[in-house]
């Protein structure tokens, strides 16, 4: 390797190291791009009613904040009320369990009494684990300010991207060599189409899961059915893990009514997820996002390992965009062209030019001397 190649290799290694160090910032920028693409799609639909671009953008942003406010208004108050009731019901359940154990001790032989679990000992053994959970909750509260700052940064970047999307797109394209810029422009078009397809498919799947959960939980008589259904629809954006996260509060609130009702909630969520996974999502995503199930799960494990919860939440759109870039740049432009001989390409160009010149020579107009005479063309009169 000569000096120039060594300098290029060092530059690539340093670039990868810098990108790795700022990976959280890049993930926030990508989240802003996804949110801007969603609001831009909504703004274009509003423009169909004859409104101007600026007014449509402002209206889409207002609708987004109104949706966020409605989400928290539906979720937070019922959950606070129900979990406050849980704090009262759980100690009562413990006291009832102690009374039941004491009654059981009077009915069984003395030899079996030591084998009956003592609730006080169980609580004492679980105390370190409870303290750890409490410490983690304090850490979560202390880190909430950082989360709010990141959300504010994403919202500000989203507004900037939404105001002038083409300007930022041209700036990104100019980072590539001039001969490759048209190719990058086509790849960005494919990414935009794929993200739009994922957004539409995710919205349809969220609506199905949310509405089905609200109807099923209302039929079972579970409290806060609307809040639980909205939460189930929202967490459905996270494949595989989202339904499990939404099941936990639903079963906890169902436990307030009857001990057997959480089992019915489990069956309900299982049926809804089976319908969504085998019917709704494949039908909606078939022509929008073409990803294998194993690839989706591996991408979730990868992004949650290196990027945390935000990486888990954005795993699917990140995988969609990464697939397009790998397929178009690495496979088509690099690997598929690997080993092609430049000499053969030159010969092909020469042959093509020679063929074109032959066609031009054959289609040249004849000289005036060789033009047919009128007597040869017209039939002679007898």
Q: What is the pLDDT along the chain (382 residues), one digit of tens a residue?
A: 677 778 878 888 888 888 888 888 888 999 999 899 889 888 888 888 888 888 998 999 999 999 888 888 887 787 777 767 666 666 666 666 666 667 666 766 666 656 655 555 655 555 565 455 445 444 444 455 677 788 888 888 998 898 888 899 999 999 888 989 999 999 999 988 888 888 888 888 889 999 999 999 999 988 888 888 888 988 888 877 788 888 888 888 887 777 788 889 999 999 998 888 788 777 766 556 666 767 777 887 888 788 877 787 888 888 888 888 988 888 888 888 776 655 444 444 444 444 444 444 444 444 444 444 434 433 444 3
Domain count, the chain: 1
Residue 89 placed within a domain: yes
Range(s) of the domain holding residue 36: 20-118+147-342
| pLDDT at residue number 137 | 45
For residue 296, give the nearest of 175, 366, 202, 178 by alpha carbon.
202
Identify whether the C-beta of residue 228 lies closer than 8 Å to the C-beta of residue 253: yes
pTM: 0.66
Quote the pLDDT of residue 120: 58
The radius of gyration of the chain from alpha carbons, rounded to an integer in Å, stands at 33
Q: Which two tokens stand for residue 80?
A: 């606070």
| Structure token pair of residue 242 | 């989202």
Evaluate whether residue 95 is within a structural domain.
yes
In a domain? residue 99: yes
Residue 368 CA, chain-centre distance (Å), reads 72
DSSP 313-341: HTHHHHHHHHHHHIIIIIIIIIITTTT--
- Asked if 220 contacts 268 with a C-beta cutoff of 8 angstroms, the reply is yes
State how far the Cα of 246 lies from the Cα of 224, in Å rounded to an integer: 13
Q: Quick check: is 7 in a domain?
A: no
Whether residue 90 is contained in a domain is answered as: yes
**288 vs 291: CA distance, rounded Å:** 10
| Domain assignment present for 263 | yes
| Domain presence at residue 252 | yes
Q: Can you tell me which residue has the tokens 């009654």? A: 103
Residue 62 lies in a domain: yes
Any idea of the CA torsion for 34, 238, 231, 283, to the nearest 10 degrees? 90
């Amino acid at each position: 390797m000569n000096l120039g190649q060594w300098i290029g290799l060092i530059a690539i290694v340093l670039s990868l190291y810098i990108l790795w160090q700022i990976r959280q910032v890049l993930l926030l920028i990508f989240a802003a791009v996804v949110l801007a693409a969603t609001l831009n799609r909504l703004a274009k639909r509003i423009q169909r009613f004859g409104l101007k671009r600026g007014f449509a953008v402002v209206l889409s942003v207002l609708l987004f904040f109104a949706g966020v406010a409605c989400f928290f208004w539906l979720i937070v108050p019922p959950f606070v009320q129900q979990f406050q009731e849980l704090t009262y019901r759980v100690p009562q359940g413990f006291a009832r369990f102690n009374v039941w154990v004491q009654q059981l001790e009077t009915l069984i032989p003395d030899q079996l009494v030591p084998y009956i679990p003592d609730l006080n000992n169980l609580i004492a053994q679980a105390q370190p684990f409870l303290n750890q959970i409490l410490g983690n909750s304090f850490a979560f509260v202390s880190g909430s300010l950082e989360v709010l700052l990141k959300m504010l940064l994403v919202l500000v970047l989203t507004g900037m991207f939404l105001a002038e999307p083409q300007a930022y797109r041209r700036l990104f394209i100019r980072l590539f060599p001039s001969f490759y810029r048209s190719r990058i422009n086509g790849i960005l078009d494919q990414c935009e189409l794929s993200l739009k397809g994922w957004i539409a498919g995710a919205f349809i799947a969220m609506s199905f899961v949310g509405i089905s959960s609200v109807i099923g939980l209302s039929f079972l008589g579970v409290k806060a059915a609307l809040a639980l259904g909205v939460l189930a629809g929202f967490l459905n954006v996270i494949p595989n893990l989202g339904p499990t996260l939404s099941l936990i509060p639903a079963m906890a609130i169902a436990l307030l009514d009857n001990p057997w009702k959480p089992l019915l909630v489990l069956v309900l969520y299982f049926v809804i997820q089976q319908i969504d996974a085998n019917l709704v999502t494949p039908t909606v995503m078939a022509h929008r996002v073409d990803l294998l199930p194993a690839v989706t799960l591996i991408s979730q494990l990868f992004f949650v390992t290196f990027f945390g919860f935000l990486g888990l939440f954005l795993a699917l759109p990140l995988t969609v965009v990464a697939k397009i870039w790998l397929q178009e740049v690495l496979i088509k432009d690099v690997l598929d062209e690997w080993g092609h001989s430049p000499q053969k390409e030159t010969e092909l160009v020469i042959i093509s030019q020679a063929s074109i010149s032959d066609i031009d020579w054959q289609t040249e107009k004849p000289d005036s001397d060789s033009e047919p005479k009128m007597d040869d063309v017209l039939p002679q009169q007898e």
